[in-house]
Chain A
Amino acid sequence: MHTETEARPTGEAGAAGAARRKLLSVAEHTIEIVSDAGEGAQKCGQIFGAVSAKMGNGVWTVEIIPAEIQPPPRVPEGASGYRIRIGSQPVTNWGDATTLAVAFNEQVLLARHRLDALAPDAVLLVENKWATDEDPDIRAAWESAMSELSGREYRIVPVPMEEQCLTLVDNPRKGKNMFALGMLACIYDRDMDRVREQIAYAFRKKSEEIYRSNVALLELGYAWAGEHLDFRIEVEPAPSSGALVVMNGNEALGLGAIASGMELCAMYPITPATSVSHYLSEVFERFGGIVHQAEDEIAAVGVAIGASYAGKVAFTITSGPGLALKTEFLGLAVMTEMPLVVVNVQRGGPSTGLPTKVEQSDLLAALFGQTGDAPHVIIAPATIEECFHVMVTARRIAEAFRTVVIVLSDANLATGVTPFARPKPEVRWQAEPLDLAPVPDGQKAYQWDPRTGLSPRVIPGQPGGMYTVTGLSHDEGSKVAYSSGVHQHSSAMRSRKLAVLQSLLSPPPVYGESKGDLLVVGWGSTKGAIEEAVDRARADGLQVSSTHLRFLSPLEPGLKKIFKRFRKVMTVEINYSDEPGEPFITDENRRRGQLSLLLRSATLVDVDCWTRVPGEPLRPGSIVEAIRSQLHHLHHSPRGGNQS
């Protein structure tokens, strides 16, 4: 570790000073700002991320969220902040480690260090007022933290942030984040006009005076860094690729829902899904839609089902515990063949679990959570861009197949921000206006096509219908089934629809070579990290490819054929699986990753898994290690691959 006792002025501004600065030109850099909750680190990070995107960098941002709203100050578990990975190419995931951090105290920095979030040679700009605090406990805490951090080759740069801010404002707790933003703008040579613009946007609901004070602090931070820091970092912009928009996955889900023509979001607050409804509550009414905050999770799905029944497909949005509560209603929707879109923004589970952290643990609950046989569709968007488009697809499938579609997003997509190709909304993406034409004579409530199980949907208001739908087993006339054979047939009709949907899907593309030693299979938000890992492994000469599934029910077709071209297949997932070799764990009793279970049963291929539940997105570097380890095993075990 190099701790600079005091950041040295790089001399007078101008050519002479500039000449002594080190310009580091890199293809990517990962920046984070960490503070106690409420000190504005997230706002600083959001602005920096947005400006970087607008300047043409590839960007992926991640929120660092403490579990409590107001954790005590200066404790590691209270670390709150924002990580921004920027690159000269599109960035698809949060990467491995932070290369430059700004910390408002040493305790939150310590938290990041202990999570192994900081690169071994990271530059750490840390508020230095704590070193000389009048409270001896705080001084001691600083000393102890510095000693713990000294185990790495970090470059620690103490910065008198508060002292500097006090020259402009009375309360540096409000505004230190803008000083930090100014430093970052200087280090990464951000366009200050754009930064000011973004500040104006971020504080658009605040007074002009607050804007001016923030800009003054920004410029102070910029000037201070210009004078005292002896390095600059250059990350060239990514090649221009047409019109882009930048947003997080929950905003994309909300906008996608609007673009799909749905007009009702029924929800109950739950992290990390709620921000979709925050966004929609702000804008939906302009589009002719409403957000109904129901009295509970059960009512939320019930209201959506009622609205769908009445003719306009509606959606509900929730996270794990809420999905559990909706279970009985989902069975009813399946049984009554009610089109319905359910978004589950997954978090860590079971139970209350990790409310703000990413996990992919609800796949099996989403698929098998209902009692009885309840076939329905599950789609998982793999990118933030797909969060937008999946809503259009989900509504169309729900309506065309008279079925429930569960969309599995997760906390990584929900709060991640990245630029993507600007969608071009089309009329045909939207639901058709209600058609209340009379029901043709003799048409039944479920006029199942015996081959496909599909049947025309009838809605109240259509003369000649007047069916009573029911969760009881029923025949095609929706008459309660009292005779044998009816339940067998109706079950087959509801199930058949999934096979029909599968027949319309294409096999998933393989990323990398179409054959080789190892195929990594993923689903959901891990796509970017997996493909980056595959790129790195291939660059090292490893014969590895990957494929990524969007449809989990029905599974995409052709998987067995694809798997057979590899010696080994392994899923990478953010859910729990037993580790081979752990006490008592055998090949028979090993509990496996959720997708791998499905793939094994669908293909009879011995699909292995590498899964983790770290409460954070997977790092590409960790996936590379898992690939290496799997290939090592493959090449050195007597039985090798299992495809023979």
Chain B
Amino acid sequence: MTAHSVHLPVLELNLEDYEYEMSDYEGARARWCPGCGDHSILTAVQRLLAAEQLAPENTVFVSGIGCSSRFPHYLKTYGFHGIHGRALPIATGIRLHRPDLTVFVVMGDGDCTSIGAGHWVHALRYNLDLVVMLLDNGIYGLTKQQTSPTTPQGFRSNTQPRGSWLPALNPLQVALGVTNTSFVAQTAEWVPAHLYATLRAARQHRGLSFVRILQRCPVYSSAVYLEAVQKPSNINMLVHDDGVVVHELDKIYTNQVAHDPHDLDAARRIAGATDRVNLGVLFRDGSKPRYEETRRVPPRTQAERVALIDAELDRYAI
């Protein structure tokens, strides 16, 4: 690997020739339950970081609260483990001030689609250059099995013991309904090769890449994705040169559906389909305006600012 240089507003770091390996991104030992889908996602992310050779010091993972939001602790990058539902505003602030940093956001379904739903909708519209992962296990795990917006209707929990009253919220439809959304994909943690390829596509997209990752909770919602896990025939693989193509999975996942991710109407149809689980890039449009670029202003030196303030005070002088 060649020298990796990072351009920063005030100084340039020329890191010595060094090739990052997956182990360079390992933080504290993950404390998720055995069999939790989050382990698989953590591995895919470490693989992605190494593949992209992202300098750990220039990479930030922001999370909210929930099982999945422990994510940053288990990585050796900068991390901000925030508060429930509010990862996206923090990530927005980071990107607005430091476009030189690569920022990932990790949220659970309660985080993203319930308490933080307002931020989610607006973040999609801002379209900052972020990889936003929704680790969707259809249940509140950390607080021990309460219904979340994505819990399937009829699924029993401690807060809805006679089964969830409402049809589950479909995060893909929401994301695809928001003005200025630029990237929406769905993948599953039990298909690691697809997970990795999807995250890589998300990382390479410029703009907010929203990736819903279907994630099993072996303790509280093991039944939620059982059919899709056990029967690959229940899964459609969306394939396209601008999407995700993982040939090593061709033999297992034989339902291959050609889908052009630039076709928003088709993406919305696929998002709403209920017969099978669709994995792949539903939508991408790299031409959507990115907020940090829209709002970019020329930086000022301290001395320039002093002179400008003095001139501004003239307006108020008497």
Contact = CB atoms under 8 A, between A and B. Distances in A.
B98 A290 contact: no
Nearest to A298: B86
B11 interface: yes
Contact of A329 (B75, B78, B83, B318): B83
A19 interface: no
Contacts of B251: none
Interface in B82-126: 82-83, 86, 88-98, 100-101, 118-119, 121-122
Contacts of B121: 295
29 contacts: A261-B302, A294-B89, A300-B89, A302-B92, A303-B90, A303-B93, A305-B89, A307-B93, A307-B94, A310-B98, A311-B98, A329-B83, A332-B82, A419-B318, A425-B305, A425-B306, A426-B306, A430-B305, A461-B8, A461-B100, A466-B57, A467-B79, A468-B72, A468-B79, A468-B80, A471-B82, A471-B83, A472-B81, A479-B28
B241 interface: no
Given A290-B297, A467-B79, A427 B302 contact: yes
B97 A263 contact: yes
A634 interface: no
User: Which of A287, A298, A306, A464 has the most C-beta atoms of chain B within 10 angstroms of its own C-beta?
Assistant: A306
Given A285-B297, A295-B121, A332-B82, 7 more contacts: A299-B86, A305-B93, A307-B94, A311-B97, A314-B97, A328-B83, A479-B28
B273 interface: no
Contacts of B13: 436, 463
A436 B8 contact: yes
A463 B14 CA distance: 12
Contacts of A310: 60, 93-94, 97-98, 101
B295 interface: yes
Contacts of A427: 302-303, 306
A288 to B, nearest CB: 4
A461 B58 contact: yes
Contacts of A369: none
Given A310-B97, A467-B78, A434 B92 contact: no
A299 B122 contact: yes
Interface string B30-51: 0000000000000000000000
A471 B92 contact: no
Contacts of A306: 62, 80, 89-97
A434 B31 CA distance: 35
Contacts of B6: 461
A473 to B, nearest CB: 12
Contacts of B246: none
Contacts of B252: none
Contacts of A243: 317
Contacts of A287: 300, 305, 308-309
A266 interface: yes
A376 B118 CA distance: 28
Interface of B is mostly: mixed
Contacts of A294: 89, 92, 122
Interface of A is mostly: mixed
A474 B20 CA distance: 28
Contact of A244 (B28, B81, B318): B318
A287 B122 CA distance: 27
B161 interface: no
Contacts, number: 201
User: Which of B62, B308, B310, B312 has the most C-beta atoms of chain A within 10 angstroms of its own C-beta?
Assistant: B312
A206 B13 CA distance: 51
B88 to A, nearest CB: 8
* Contact residues on B (Cβ < 8 Å of other chain), bracket: 35 or more
Interface string A419-432: 10011011100100
A444 to B, nearest CB: 14
A314 B73 contact: no
B58 to A, nearest CB: 6
A198 to B, nearest CB: 11
B313 A289 contact: no
A246 B318 CA distance: 7
A298 B298 CA distance: 28
Interface string B205-228: 000000000000000000000000
A251 B315 CA distance: 12
A470 B73 contact: yes
Contact of B309 (A255, A302, A467): A255
Contacts of B28: 479
A426 to B, nearest CB: 7
Given A245-B318, A288-B300, A466-B56, A303 B98 contact: no
User: Which of B9, B75, B297 has the most C-beta atoms of chain A within 10 angstroms of its own C-beta?
Assistant: B297
Given A307-B93, A468-B79, A299 B119 contact: yes
A501 interface: no
Given A461-B57, A466-B78, A302 B93 contact: yes
B306 A298 contact: no
A305 B90 contact: yes
A469 interface: yes
Given A54-B318, A244-B317, A292 B96 contact: yes
B154 interface: no
Nearest 5 A-B pairs (CB), nearest first?
Answer: A306-B93, A302-B89, A468-B79, A288-B300, A307-B93
Contacts of A302: 82, 86, 88-90, 92-93, 119
B79 A245 contact: no
A172 B27 CA distance: 73
Contacts of B122: 294-295, 299
A83 interface: no
A264 interface: yes
User: Which of A255, A303, A436, A460 has the most C-beta atoms of chain B within 10 angstroms of its own C-beta?
Assistant: A460
